[in-house]
A and B are shown apart, each in its own frame.
Chain A
Amino acid sequence: MKTRPNYLAGIGSFLWLLIVAIPLYVMISGTFQTRAEFGDNGPLSFPTSFTLQNYADAITSGFGRYFLNTLVVTVGVVAIVLLLVPPLSYAIVRSRSRAASFVFRFFLLGLAIPAQAVIVPVFYLINTVGLYDNLIGIILPTAAFALPICTLILSGTMRDITGELYEAMAMDGASPARAFFRLVLPLSKGGISTIAVFSALQAWNGFLFPLILTQSESTRVVTLGLFNFQTQYGINIPGLLAAVTLSMVPVLLVYLFARRALVQGLMGAGGK
C-alpha cells in the first residue's frame, strides 16, 4: 500500500526517542566523569575528562559478588522453568482431561496474582523451611511466579503443531513421552527459547523476593546492590550511574543475541 510519509507521527516518535535516549545518554556520559566535574558542569554536558574510576568503585563496592549471586538465581530460575513448563504446556494443549483445561485456567488466573499479595506467607514459608537468606529461597518463588506467563507463551507455540504430525507418529505406535521428546520439543524450540529469555529477564531484574527473603551481603543480588548503593552513596551520582550501567550490561548482551525471541514473545502478548 502506498501512503504519504506521516510527518507528524515521525516527529512525535522522534520526540519520544529523545525522551528515551537522553536519560540513557546522561547515564553513560556521567559514568566517565569525576564527581567534581559532574557537579560543576551538570548532567547534560559532554564529559571533558575520561575516568574509569566510577566503574572501579562500583566493582570494589561488591558488585562482582552481586553479579555472581544474580547469575546463580537466574540460572536456577531458568532451569526450573524449562523443566516444568514444557510438560505442563504439552498437557494443556494435548490432554483431553478436564483437569488439564482447569489447570490452564488456574495458571491464567495466576497471571494476575501480584507477588506483593502473597509475600507475607511466602516469607513465612521460606523461613519455616530454613531457606531465609539463601539464594535457593529466592529462586523458588521467582520461578513459581514466572510460570503463568511462560505457560501462556509456550502453550501458544505448541498449539501450532498440527494433528497430522501426531497421527504420523501414531503409525509407529508412539507413546505420549515419545511424542513429547521426538515431536513436541523439537518443534517448540522457538517458544522454549522465548520462555528462557523471559524468565531470565524476570529473574535478573527481580527485586521484591530478594528484598524480603535475604539480608546479608553474601546473598545480595544486583538490584538490591543498586538500592543499597543509593542509600549509602546517594550523593555520588557518577558512582551510582556506573553501578546502574553495569547492572544493564549483561541484559543488553542477551538482548542483542535474543532480540527476536523476546520481541516476538511480547508482540504476541496482546495480539490475540
Chain B
Amino acid sequence: MTTLATRRRPAPGGSTVSRPARSGASSVGRPGFAWALPATIFFALFALVPLAAVAVLSFTSWSGLGDPEFVGLDNWKTLIADPVMLKSLWLSLLFIVLGVVTQTPLSILLGVWAAGNQRNRAVLSAIYFIPLLLSSAAISVLWRALLDPNFGIPGQLSWLFGDGNLLGTQTGAIGVLIFVGMWQFTPFHTLIYQGAAKGIPPVLYQAAAIDGAGMVRQFFSITLPQLRNTAITSIILMVVGGLTTFETVLILTNGGPGTDTTITAFYMYQQAFRSFDFGVGSAIALVLVVVATAISLVVVKVSGYDKMNSSLEGL
C-alpha cells in the first residue's frame, strides 16, 4: 500500500492520518461527522456504555433484582481465591492454543489448494463451506447427537472410541470441543487463506520454477511467506473466537465433566445467569474484555487493518 504522506505520531484526537491539502472540486461528497452519528450512538449504547457499566458492576453485588450494591473489591478477592476461575483461564488458554494449532495448518493447506482454479475445487469448496452456515447451536446439537454413547457414531466404531462416552472424560470432552471447533471454523479460515493465496503474484512461482524449485520448496519459500499477514489476522481471529466459545460448551458439555471444560466465557455465564451473582459475573466479563481488547489492539497494529486509514490520505 503506498501512502502519500508519512505516518505521524497519533495526535491527541486519535487520528494518525495526515492529509495533504487539496483544493477545489473534491470538497463535494465530503459528508460532515453527522453522517456517522446515528450508528456511533447506537453502537456506543450497546457496546461502549455497557463496557463502562461492566467495570462499575464488577465492584457491586447484584442478584438481578433491586439495585446493585457497592462492595468494593469483594468480587475480585473472591475470583482471585476461586480455583475454578484460575482453572477456567488455563482451560481457555488450552482451547486457544489447541484451536490455533489444529485449525491453522489445515486451513492453510486447504486454502492454498482451493486457490487453484479447477472446476472440481469450486464444487468442493462449496461443500466445505456448509458448516460455516450452521449456527453454533445447530452444530453443537448435531455433534451431541452424533456422539451419543448409545445411538451415535462411537457406539458403532467401538474399536476406535472404546466405551464411546467421549464427553464423559476431560480429555474426551476437550478433544470433542476442539474437533467441533475445527469442523465449524476451518471453512472460514480456509476462505481467507484462499483469498490471500489467489493474490500471490504468479510470476513468483514462474521464477521459482525456472530456478528448478519443486512444489514443496515453492510452498515453503513463496506461499507461506506471502501468507504471513493473513496468518496473523486469521490466528488472532481464532484466539478471540476460542476465548469466547460459548454455545458449543453450553450444549455439548455444559462445562463438564465437573468443571473440566468450564472455560472463562462459560464461567461468566454460570456465575451471572445461573448463580445470579452479577457482580462476580461482571468481574469475569471484565477479564474477558481486557484479554480480548489486548488481542484486538494487536489485530489493529499487526494485521494492517488500520492501514486502511492510509487510503484516506490519497483523497
CB within 8 Å of B: which residues of A?
Answer: 1, 3-4, 6, 9-10, 12-13, 16-17, 19-21, 23-24, 26-27, 30, 38-39, 42-44, 80, 83-85, 87-88, 90-125, 140-141, 143-145, 147-148, 151-152, 155-156, 159, 163, 166-167, 169-171, 173-176, 179-180, 183-184, 201, 204-208, 212, 222-224, 226-227, 229-230, 234-235, 237, 240-241, 243-244, 247-248, 251-252, 255, 259, 263, 266-272
Contacts and interface: CB of A to CB of B under 8 A. Distances in A.
Main secondary structure of the interface of B (DSSP, over half): helix
Contacts of A107: 43
A116 B192 contact: no
Interface string B288-315: 1100110111011001111111011001
Interface string B239-256: 010011011001100000
A111 B193 CA distance: 20
Contacts of A100: 33, 36
Contacts of A167: 25-26, 28
Contacts of B194: 267
Contact of B36 (A95, A223, A241, A247): A95
Interface in B217-232: 229-230
Contact of B209 (A1, A19, A27, A124): A1
Interface in B139-156: 141-146, 148, 150-153, 155-156
Interface residues of B, number: 124
A114 B29 contact: no
B133 A226 contact: no
Contacts of B234: 270
Interface in B109-167: 109-110, 112-114, 124, 126-131, 133-138, 141-146, 148, 150-153, 155-156
Contacts of A270: 192-193, 195-196, 230, 233-234, 237, 303
A91 B47 contact: no
Nearest to B294: A112
The 3 closest A-B pairs by CB, nearest first: A112-B296, A267-B195, A270-B192
